[in-house]
Amino acid sequence: MLKKIELVIISAFLSLLLRAQVNTGFNLMPIPKEIHINDHKLVIDMNFKVSVIGNPNSRIYPEASRFLRRLSNATGIFLDKQGFVTPKDNNVSSALLIMVKRPGKLELGEDESYTLETKANQVVIDAITDIGAIRALETLLQLLSADAQGYYFPGVIIHDQPRFAWRGLLLDVALHFMPVDVVKRTLDGMAAVKMNVLHLHLCNDQGFRVESKVFPRLQQVASDGIYYTQEEIRDIVHYAGQRGIRVVPEFVVPAHTTAILTAYPEFASVKRDYKLQRYFGVFDPVMDPTNEKLYPFLEKLFLEMSSLFPDAYFHIGGDENTGKDWSSNPHIQAFMKAHGMKSTADLQTYFNQRLLPIIKKCGKTMVGWDEIFHPGLPKEVVIESWRGNESFYGSIKKGHPSILSYGYYIDLIQPASYHYQNDPIPDSVKLTAAETKLVLGGEATMWSEMVTPVTVDSRIWPRTAAIAERLWSPQTVRDTDDMYHRLDIESLRLEALGLRHISYKYPLMRQLVKGYDIKPLEVLVSVIEPLKIYERNEGDTMYTVFSPFTKLADVASPDQPVPRIFNKQVDSFLINPSPELEKTINEKLTLWKENDLPFQQLVKKSPVLQEAASLSQNLSKLADAGMQAMQYIQEHHNLGKDWLQEKMDIIKQARKQGGRCELQVVDAVQRLIEKAAETY
Question: Contact positions toward its own copies, by CB under 8 A?
Answer: 62, 69, 72-80, 82-84, 146-151, 179-181, 224-225, 229, 231, 278, 454, 488, 492, 495-496, 498, 500, 502-504, 506-507, 510-512, 514-516, 544-551, 604-608, 611
Is the CB of 356 or the CB of 454 nearer to its own copies?
454
**Nearest of 433, 405, 435 to residue 419 by alpha carbon:** 405
d(CA 291, CA 293): 5
d(CA 498, CA 487): 17
Compute the least distance from the CB of residue 142 to its own copies, in Å.
13
DSSP 499: -
Buried b (16+ CB within 10 A) or exposed e, 167-205: bbbbbbbbbbbbebebbbbbbbbbbbbbbbbbbbbbbbb
Q: How far is CA 51 from CA 61, 103, 660, in A?
A: 9, 16, 53
Is the CB of 34 or the CB of 181 nearer to its own copies?
181
Is the CB of 78 or the CB of 428 nearer to its own copies?
78
**Catalytic residue chosen out of the listed positions 232, 304, 320, 594:** 320
Backbone angles phi, psi at 319, to 5 degrees: -95, 165
Is the CB of 78 or the CB of 213 nearer to its own copies?
78
Residues 285 and 254: beta-carbon distance below 8 Å? no
DSSP 658: B
State the number of CA atoms in the 13 A half-sphere of 422 facing the CB: 27
**Nearest of 303, 189, 181, 200 to residue 243 by alpha carbon:** 189
d(CA 170, CA 178): 12
In 3-state terms the chain splits into helix, strand, coil percentages (rounded to 5) of: 45, 15, 35
d(CA 190, CA 192): 5
3-state secondary structure 276-298: CCCECCCCCCEECCCCCCHHHHH
Is the CB of 181 or the CB of 580 nearer to its own copies?
181
d(CA 252, CA 254): 7
Quote the crossing angle between the two packed helices 294-308 and 344-361, to the nearest 10°.
50
Bridge pairing between strands 203-204 and 207-208: antiparallel
Residues 282 and 216: beta-carbon distance below 8 Å? no
Q: Is 320 a catalytic residue?
A: yes
- 340 sits in the region (left: phi over 0; alpha: psi -120 to 50; else beta) called left
Compute the least distance from the CB of residue 77 to its own copies, in Å.
7
**Nearest of 132, 126, 154, 122 to residue 141 by alpha carbon:** 154
DSSP 210: B
Compute the least distance from the CB of residue 333 to its own copies, in Å.
35
d(CA 602, CA 597): 9
CB-CB neighbours of 571 under 10 Å: 14
- CA angle, corner 462, sides to 456 and 464, nearest 5? 85
Is the CB of 167 or the CB of 505 nearer to its own copies?
505
Is the CB of 61 or the CB of 335 nearer to its own copies?
61
Compute the least distance from the CB of residue 278 to its own copies, in Å.
6
Is the CB of 145 or the CB of 291 nearer to its own copies?
145
Bridge pairing between strands 34-43 and 150-160: antiparallel
Compute the least distance from the CB of residue 591 to its own copies, in Å.
16
CB-CB neighbours of 140 under 10 Å: 22
Is the CB of 20 or the CB of 43 nearer to its own copies?
43
Compute the least distance from the CB of residue 607 to its own copies, in Å.
5
Is the CB of 39 or the CB of 80 nearer to its own copies?
80
- Bond into 254 cis (ω within 30): yes
Is the CB of 220 or the CB of 322 nearer to its own copies?
220
d(CA 221, CA 92): 57
**Nearest of 360, 371, 439, 368 to residue 399 by alpha carbon:** 439
- 183 sits in the region (left: phi over 0; alpha: psi -120 to 50; else beta) called alpha
d(CA 332, CA 462): 47
Is the CB of 185 or the CB of 593 nearer to its own copies?
185
CA torsion, points 97, 103, 104, 105, in degrees to nearest 10?
A: 170
Residues with catalytic roles: 320
